Chains A and B, each alone.
Chain A
């Protein structure tokens, strides 16, 4: 019974995920695309929960939904309504055909590669303990096994912050000069 529930939840989440992804790609108004992405991110968080990744799910919602998407929406609002033409408005072109083919090929390959290379590993899901995916487990992993990744990631964030300030301040000087 529990399994059946999980399946239902999974299907809903997966369907929402895909639908919102397609919506992102096909809306002409960037604002709607951003909103669709929020939906995508939320359904992904649900999927993470199914996979016992509670901390990651929380992080997904907080970071992506709370920070990244907010930034996106701010910028889209700031830049005004520059509506793009939908990609298939000019009729089928080499770009579209090529893109669809390439996308399909990548999809097929992902499935094939993982299926071929993973081998026997894919058939035996491991048992996990109660603390799997908990903040305590992740924190311990971060600060012992993956300390370097932790520190480097923090540097990346620092650089990004500095970069954002620099990009923003240049623009301000430019606009001050013009004004």
Chain B
């Protein structure tokens, strides 16, 4: 394996995941939240592909491609929802959507 050993990739992936999680937890605009989810998905992809390289089999890459397809589908639906929200002039702020208050 050229370049860094696997531990570097693990750490990098973790940091990306944590960043994405921070974005989900801290931002109020649903678009930004969706982008942060993308970051998290990509961090998982990175780790998958790194492990695939480590073990010499393509299974990780197959998995990563499936993840990409699913992420794309999810983005389609999420953006569709956001557009619908925008059309109804609902304010794009997740803190305003509080009807599930207990």
Contact = CB atoms under 8 A, between A and B. Distances in A.
| Same complex | yes
Interface of A: 2-3, 6-7, 9-10, 14, 17-18, 21-22, 24-25, 30, 33-34, 37, 40-41, 44, 47-48, 50-53, 55-56, 59-60, 63-64, 67-68, 71-72, 75-76, 78-79, 82, 84-85, 87-88, 95-96, 98-100, 102-104, 106-108, 110-111, 114-115, 121-122, 125-128, 132-133, 137-138, 141-142, 145-146, 149-150, 153, 156-157, 159-161, 163-164, 166-168, 170-171, 174-175
Given A6-B2, A141-B59, A56 B10 contact: no
Interface in B1-30: 1-23, 25-29
Given A79-B82, A157-B72, A99 B29 contact: no
Interface in B40-74: 42, 45-46, 49-50, 52-56, 58-59, 61-66, 68-74
B36 A107 contact: no
A50 B49 CA distance: 10
Contacts, number: 243
B84 to A, nearest CB: 5
B69 A157 contact: yes
Contacts of B39: 21, 24-25, 37, 40
Interface residues of B, number: 74
B75 A17 contact: no
Nearest to B19: A21
Contacts of B66: 149-150, 153
A157 B87 CA distance: 25
Contacts of B79: 71-72, 75, 164
Interface of B: 1-23, 25-29, 31-32, 34-36, 38-39, 42, 45-46, 49-50, 52-56, 58-59, 61-66, 68-77, 79-84, 86-88, 92-93
Given A87-B27, A95-B25, A122-B6, A171 B84 contact: yes
Contacts of A60: 45, 68
Given A95-B26, A138-B65, 14 more contacts: A30-B29, A71-B76, A76-B31, A84-B28, A84-B29, A100-B22, A110-B14, A111-B10, A132-B53, A133-B53, A145-B62, A153-B66, A157-B73, A166-B80
